[in-house]
Each structure stands twice: as C-alpha cells, then as structure tokens.
Amino acid sequence: IAIQDGNEVARYMSPLHASDVGDVLEAISPADRFELINLLGELFDYSALTEIDDSVRLELMDLLPNNDIARGVQELDSDDAVYILEDIEGGDREEILAALPTFERLALKRSLDFPEETAGRRMQTEFIAIPPFWTVGQTIDYMREADDLPDDFHQIYVVDPSYNLLGTLALDRMLRAKRPAVIKDIMNSTIIEVEAEEDQEEAARMFERYDLVEVAVVDETRRLVGVLTVDDIVDVIQEEAGEDIKRLAGVGNEEISGNVWNAVRSRLTWLGVNLVTAIMASLVIGMFDATIQQMVALAVLMPIVASMGGNAGTQTMTVAVRALSTRELDSYNVRRLITREFLVGVVNGVVFALVIGVVAAIWFANPLLGLVIGAAMVINMIAAGISGIMIPLTLDKLKIDPAIASSAFVTTVTDVVGFMAFLYIAAHAFNLF
Amino acid sequence: IAIQDGNEVARYMSPLHASDVGDVLEAISPADRFELINLLGELFDYSALTEIDDSVRLELMDLLPNNDIARGVQELDSDDAVYILEDIEGGDREEILAALPTFERLALKRSLDFPEETAGRRMQTEFIAIPPFWTVGQTIDYMREADDLPDDFHQIYVVDPSYNLLGTLALDRMLRAKRPAVIKDIMNSTIIEVEAEEDQEEAARMFERYDLVEVAVVDETRRLVGVLTVDDIVDVIQEEAGEDIKRLAGVGNEEISGNVWNAVRSRLTWLGVNLVTAIMASLVIGMFDATIQQMVALAVLMPIVASMGGNAGTQTMTVAVRALSTRELDSYNVRRLITREFLVGVVNGVVFALVIGVVAAIWFANPLLGLVIGAAMVINMIAAGISGIMIPLTLDKLKIDPAIASSAFVTTVTDVVGFMAFLYIAAHAFNLF
C-alpha cells in the first residue's frame, strides 16, 4: 500500500477469496484500510466486508462515501447487502438505499423491515422459480439464457402463478432426468419452508434436522419471498453457540474487537447481580458470627463447601442449558433427567464428603469437624444437582433465556445452602451459639 | 406397535423423514424400539439411526442381529454407514463388514481406518469424478445413465487419470453452460481440498470461511478419496460448540441420555480439581486465622472478594476461549486484548470497590473496613482480568485445550489473590496478627 499504486495492489489482491481480503483488512491499520479500498476502487469486492468484524466494518462505513457503498452493495447478493446495511445508522442508510436502482432498493428495504435475527432478514431474494408444467429441457434452456440468476444456487423452486410454493427440485435430480420430463413429475413435493418472521435459530434447526442446503422463505400469505442458504446458516449456528457460551459466563454479546467501554458495559450487569448474591451469602455467614468467633476453623473450611456446590451446580446447569438450546431436552426425558441429577448429586456428594471429611478431620485433628463438613457437602451437592436442573427448566418455561439467568440463581442457591448447612450443623454439633 | 402389524406400522412411518423416525425411536421404550425395527423389517431406513442419541443407538445395535445391520447400512451413503459402525465393538463390527459386498466393505474399512474426528472419518466415498476433456453434454448424459450416483450431490470433481483433483464444477455452473462447452474451460480451478487426516474442526472452519457446500477430501498423495458435505459439517459445528460449552463447565462430553454413572464419571475429575483448588484457598485463609478470630467481619466479607474475582475472571476467560476456538484471537490482536482486559479489570474493580466499600463501611459501621475491602476488590479484579486472558493463551501455546483447563487455574488465582489481598491488607490496617 505504501507504493500507492492501485494496479499493483489490485494484482496482488484480486486472486484472493473475499475471506482472505477480509483478513488483510483486519490486520492493517484503520487508515490503511480506507486507503486500500480507495486504491482498489471499482475492483474492490464488497463481499469482503461481510467477512470482517462488526466494529471494523462500522468504522470503514463511516469513512467511505455513501455513493461508493451504494455502488458496492449493488453487486452483492441481497443477503450480503442486507448484512452490510443493517448496522448503518438511519440517515446514511437512507442515502445509500436512495442511490440504488428501484428494484434492488425495494428488495433490500423489504428484508430490512424484518426484525433482526429472523429468516427474512437473512434471506437472499435472488432465486429461480418456475411453473410446474415446464419440462427439464425448457428449464435448462431458461437458465442458459437468463442473466439475472443468483450467484450460486442448489435447487429450483416450483411455484404457482401467485408464487405459492408447490415443490422444489434439486439440481442433481434435474440433471439425472431426461429433457422431456415434466418438472411436476420429478419435483420433491414435500414442502419444507420457513416463515420470514421465524427466528433464524429455528431455521438453523430445520437445516440440521433435514440436512438442507437451501430452504424457501415465505411471507404470511405463504408466497415465496426468498431463500435461506446453508452458508448463512453455518454462520447462524456458530453465532448462536457463541452466544450461549458467553451468556452462561455473563458476558453480553461481546466481540474481541470491542473497546474497553463495550467490554465493561457488557460485564457490569452480571457482576452486579453476582455482588447481590455474594452479599446474600455473607448475610448467611453473618448470622453465625458468634459461632465462627469460637471456632475459626469453620471460616477456613466454609468456602470449600460453597465452592464445590457451585461447581457441581454449574455442571448440571450447563448440561441442561445446552440440552434446552439444542432441543434435546423435552417432556419425554425431563423426569428421567431430574432423577439422574439427584442421584449424581448424592453419589458425588458422598464421594467428596468422604475425601473432605478425612482431610478436615486430620487437618484440625477433629473427627467431629470431618463429619460436619461431610454432611454439609452431601446436602449442598444434592441442592446443586436439583437447582442445576430445575432452575434452567423453570426459566425456560417462563420464556426467559436459561443461558442468561441460570448461573446467578444456581450459585445463589449453592452459596446459601452451602454456608447455611455447614455453619448450622457445626453450631449444633459443637454447641456454639 | 401394540397391534403388532408390520404393514400398519409401515404405513404410518414411511412418509416420515429419517429425523422424525429417530424422534419416534427415542421417545418409546427400549423394548418397543427393537420391536418397531423388527416389524418394519426391510422397510426400516437405517439412516434414522444416525439421528438418534449415541447411547440409544448402541443399545439397539446390541439387540439387532449383525446380518440385519449389514443389510441396513449397505443402503446408506458411506458417511452414514461409518457413523453407525464406528461405535460398534471390534468383533461385531468385523462380522457386519464381512457380510457386506467387497466394494462397500473396502470403502468403509478405509474410512474407519482414519482417526475419529478427522475429515477422512466423516467423508462420503460416493462422488462424481470426470475427466477435464469431457463436454457438458457428455457429462449430463453420463449422469442420466449412471446408476451408482451419490444420493445428493452439488458439485462434480474434475480429475486426471490418477485421480488428482484438477478442479470442481458446481451444478449451477454446468446448467448455465451450453452442451458443447468443454468441462476444463468452465470448471473452477481454484482448488480447495482437505487432507483426510485433517481434524474435522479444521474442515468446518474451511466451510465457514469459503462458504462451501462440498469439499474434496484427498489422501497424502493428493488423490481424491471422498467428499465432505455441508450437512455433516453443520453437525460438526454444533458438536464442537457444545464441547466447548461443556468443557468450560468441566463436564466431559456428556449426553443427556447417559446414565447416572456416565454423568458421575464425567464430572468427578473437575470436581476433584476444584476440591484441590478450594483447599489451597482454605490454606490461605488458615494463614490468617488469628486475624479472623479478632475480627469476625472479615470471615463474613471475604467470600465477596473471591466470588467477584472468580466471576470477572470467568468472563474474561470465556471471551478468550471462545475467540481462540473460532480463531478470532491471533497474534495481530493479542496485545490489544491483554491491555483491554487489564483496563476492564481496573474499571470494574474501581466501580465495585466503591459499591462494596460503602456497603461494608455502613454494615459494620467501620469506614476503614470499607477501604480495605475496596482495595482488595481492585487488586483481585485486575488479577482476574490478567489471568482470564493469560491462562487460556498459555494453555493454547502449550497445545492444551484452553476450554478444559482454564477454569481451574483462573478460579485458583482469583480465590488465592482474593483471600490473600483482603486478609493481608486487613491484618495490617487493623494491626491484627
């Protein structure tokens, strides 16, 4: 880029795949990014912008003139264009849309009208729709002549005059059929479609379930309005899995390219919730301050009971949250799972009660203390198993995302039960009030 | 099933997609599953078995006669057949393979020879390979005549006589070309291929990166041996994301259908590790037992410092582990990220130091105690930020999966630093030794 020669740069960049161009853009400084795109001019393929981090893209969008962006997105399939436009603020977005030809503008506007993370927002409005009475030969000839075909496609949609979906035809089926065969007779008439308003996660589940490569998107009157392709769905699955992981740890949908303030904000809520639950646990300890004063060993040992319970609860909760989000957990197996988690709590509780009981008895040369911590451990591990499964299930029933809120509740239960059981039993065993 | 009438059952089941048949099998009792498959006999489509839980499938495999399984898997594409066979124990697997025709047997054996979770194990050995000098017309005619085509395919592989890959041709490109066009001239000669020994996760990353629908799998001599399809990759992505989530929480690759013993085993290791780290934290507290005896408020407040640090550390660590596993985190941005996490620690530390400082000062009517806990909070939040990013990075450098081991180390650091900082500062501030 130092050499400032557009042709030179273009020669290096043009054989690269859009993903690789995206990587180059991410690696260089913000000023160089803008420079590079300007140097490439019309040769710059805007699909590279769909491969870079949101924050980098937004920064670039601010720098680039709206007219250039309009020219760039016009070349893209509508799903990529929407992806780039959706994060641009109102005024700029209107200006870019206004600079587009009418047909493209209307298609993009319609997609942008659907809520974020729906099938309608992700769909591509370029697809091939043909009537059922055409023959294979006619269809092939049509495709050879037409010049507004989508960039890549894997199946053809068979529709009636009002664009209601009648069936689909995979390209490999068509290639295996003879030219005179009528589409109606060879098409797959088991209709799998998603509504445009549907959550993208639902659509992804359908792809997984039925091993799809493309699926039809229909509006509320069941008219075909677009298609969802598997490459977008792969991104959706990756995104949703990442969201689950981050939500479980209480970080908002944070990206590593975000700045300090984004990161602080995305974590404050969860840390605030945790502070409240930690104070609740402290209140429980405070109830036993006289007990602790007479036997400091209790203060030394009590975090062990709480920590083990917290971990066991998190394990159960994670399995439950993941199973809920992949829909493996349903009414058929929920009762079995609750029983299992209860038993796991009992078994792990007894195992670790024995270990910590012996350790504590020897450490403080006090067998009764070993018994006390062992009993508290069993109680807390069972509480952990039960709350680890019941809390996500309850939240899910209440339509609250269990990935976000479960941790806070589960660790509150295990902290409170852990400290309470240990200190209460100890107070009674050693007569310390 | 109660009616024991095969034809009746077949009439209900046959219009169902394999995934739906799988769901039916999972919902009914083990005895009914076996009964159902027997009733359906030759009508049972073994691909339903690829859609059910591992443990349910293994149970069924034990019950079904090996000959029936051999007949069933013979009908499947090789990737599905491998999926079913890979979990069957040695002797039974040999018997099933022996019952297959030579060609199928050799193909399946070759796939099974590749290690688990590699491209070679997941690939499908049915694909269409043609020479570069054929015309579009010849190719279409060949596909119309051939009867051993794969079930679904999206591109055609162009190879030289020794099966080295020369290029690929997507079906939509072929349909747009005229019959006399020569394959060589219209094929995509940018070759994207994976080695059979490659980890399936790497292959998945390639699909995401290049928006693929199918990719060629080659052996060490670069000969084409199979293809990976996107429907398998979607499963891989879902699986790997699930593994990350579960590893972070310290549950092995556990499925909700596993029994109590599986679950206990998969969690014992992590709980054991946690017990050791909890005891280490207790040793730190034990060093200050005289201090605590003189001021029980310290025992009441100390879990707050440790718990906040643990949560902040887990947040940072989760972001880092996820970024490492999706390869967003690399040498370009690692320095920036470490600085950011340090600053986030400072900011969140100061925020929560103020809150808890005021709470503690009022609660125990002791402003100095508020100062002490505030200072300890800032120190521990910074320790949390730094260990949350450095520990996963170090583990990754040492080729240890950061998802598995990071939590244990991070919480050890935040527990030890938390208790130590709080009690040490308190001991000095109040002169309690």
A98 to chain B, closest Cα gap in Å: 30
Q: What would the CATH number be for the domain defined by A129-230? A: 3.10.580.10
Residue A33 contacts residue A23 (beta carbons within 8 Å): no
Q: Residue B323: CA atoms inside 13 Å, Cβ hemisphere, count?
A: 25
A252 to chain B, closest Cα gap in Å: 10
Q: Which element (helix H / strand E) includes A147?
A: none
Can you give the length of chain A in residues? 433
Residue A128 contacts residue A148 (beta carbons within 8 Å): no
Question: Which tens digits make up the pLDDT trace of B197-240?
Answer: 998 888 888 888 888 889 999 988 889 999 998 888 888 888 87
Three-state secondary structure along B170-208?
A: EHHHHHHCCCCCEHHHHCECCCCEEECCCEHHHHHHHHH
Q: DSSP for B201-258?
A: HHHHHHHHHHT-SEEEEE-TT-BEEEEEEHHHHHHHHHHHHHHHHHHHTT--S--TTS
Q: What angle do CA A131, A134, A138 make, to 5 degrees?
A: 125
Between chains, do B271 and A415 touch, taking CB under 8 Å as contact? Answer: no
Residue of A319, A381, A411, A412 to mutate for B, most B C-beta atoms under 10 A: A319
**Which chain A residues are closer than 8 Å to B303 by Cβ?**
278, 281-282, 285, 302-303, 306, 415, 419
Q: What angle do CA A308, A311, A314 make, to 5 degrees?
A: 150
Amino acid residing at B380:
N
Q: DSSP for B373-401?
A: HHHHHHHHHHHHHHHHHHHHHHHHHTT--
Report the chain A residue with the minimal C-alpha distance to residue B140.
Answer: A175
Residue closest to A122 by CA, chosen among A287, A233, A205: A233
Residue B69, both tokens:
């399984």
B18 to chain A, closest Cα gap in Å: 8
Beta strand B214-218 pairing with B193-195: parallel
Amino acid residing at B385:
G
b/e for B162-175, b at 16 or more Cβ within 10 A? eeebbbbbbbbbbb
Residue A305 contacts residue A377 (beta carbons within 8 Å): yes
Query: CB contact, 8 Å: B281 with chain A?
Result: yes
Three-state secondary structure along B280-301?
A: HHHHHHHHCHHHHHHCCHHHHH
**Shortest CB distance from B171 goes to which of A171, A235, A259?**
A171
Q: What would the CATH number be for the domain defined by B6-115? A: 1.25.60
Neighbours of B221 (CB within 10 A): 9
Spatial CB neighbours of B144, under 8 Å, sequence gap ≥ 6: A175, A176, A177, A178
Residue A134, both tokens:
């055409």
Question: Which tens digits make up the pLDDT trace of B12-55?
Answer: 776 777 778 887 887 777 778 877 777 777 778 888 888 787 77
Q: Where in chain A is the domain with CATH 3.10.580.10?
A: 129-230
Looking at residue B51, the DSSP 8-state letter turns out to be G
Helix, strand, or coil (residue A221): coil
Residue closest to B244 by CA, chosen among B320, B311, B192: B320
Q: Where in chain A is the domain with CATH 1.10.357.20?
A: 260-429
Neighbours of B330 (CB within 10 A): 12
Positive or negative, the CA dihedral A277, A283, A284, A285 is positive
Between chains, do B231 and A254 touch, taking CB under 8 Å as contact? Answer: no
Interatomic CA distance for residues A247 and A242, integer angstroms:
8
Amino acid residing at B35:
E
Neighbours of B59 (CB within 10 A): 16
Q: Where in chain A is the domain with CATH 1.25.60?
A: 6-117
Query: CB contact, 8 Å: B368 with chain A?
Result: no
Residue B283, both tokens:
């040793």
Residue of A174, A307, A337, A340 to mutate for B, most B C-beta atoms under 10 A: A307
Q: How far is CA A347 from the centre of its chain?
A: 34
Architecture of A260-429 per CATH?
A: Orthogonal Bundle (1.10)
Interatomic CA distance for residues B374 and B380, integer angstroms:
10
Residue closest to A419 by CA, chosen among A289, A313, A293, A316: A289
**Shortest CB distance from A237 goes to which of B144, B234, B264?**
B234
Neighbours of B58 (CB within 10 A): 13
Residue A83, both tokens:
């992806």
Residue B141, both tokens:
């005619």
**Which chain A residues are closer than 8 Å to B237 by Cβ?**
234, 237-238, 241
Report yes or no for ipTM above 0.95. Answer: no
Interatomic CA distance for residues A32 and A1, integer angstroms:
7
Fold of A6-117: MgtE N-terminal fold (1.25.60)
Question: First vs last Cα of chain A: how many Å apart?
Answer: 76
Q: Which element (helix H / strand E) includes A130?
A: strand A129-130
Looking at residue A267, the DSSP 8-state letter turns out to be H
Q: Tens of pLDDT along chain A (433 residues)? A: 455 565 666 667 767 777 788 878 877 777 788 778 777 777 788 888 887 877 778 778 888 888 888 888 888 888 888 888 887 877 788 888 888 888 888 888 888 888 888 888 888 888 899 999 999 989 988 888 887 777 788 899 999 999 999 999 998 888 888 889 999 999 988 888 999 999 888 888 888 888 888 999 999 888 999 999 888 888 888 887 778 788 887 777 777 777 788 888 888 888 888 899 899 999 999 899 889 988 889 999 999 999 999 889 988 988 888 888 877 777 777 888 888 889 999 999 999 999 999 999 999 999 999 999 999 999 999 999 999 999 999 998 888 888 877 888 888 899 999 999 999 999 999 887 7
Question: Which tens digits make up the pLDDT trace of B294-336?
Answer: 888 999 999 999 999 988 998 898 888 888 887 777 777 788 8
> Where residue B356 falls among pLDDT bands split at 50, 70, 90?
very high
Between chains, do B297 and A303 touch, taking CB under 8 Å as contact? Answer: no
Residue A76 contacts residue A45 (beta carbons within 8 Å): no
Spatial CB neighbours of A103, under 8 Å, sequence gap ≥ 6: none
Interatomic CA distance for residues A352 and A378, integer angstroms:
8
Architecture of B129-248 per CATH?
A: Roll (3.10)
φ/ψ of residue A274, rounded to 5: -65, -35
Window 324-343 of A, Cβ < 8 Å to B:
326, 328-329, 332-333, 337, 340-341, 343
Can you give the length of chain B in residues? 433
**Which chain A residues are closer than 8 Å to B314 by Cβ?**
249-250
A212 to chain B, closest Cα gap in Å: 7
Interatomic CA distance for residues B385 and B53, integer angstroms:
39
pLDDT at residue B136 tops 70: yes
Between chains, do A315 and B172 touch, taking CB under 8 Å as contact? Answer: no
Window 53-92 of B, Cβ < 8 Å to A:
53
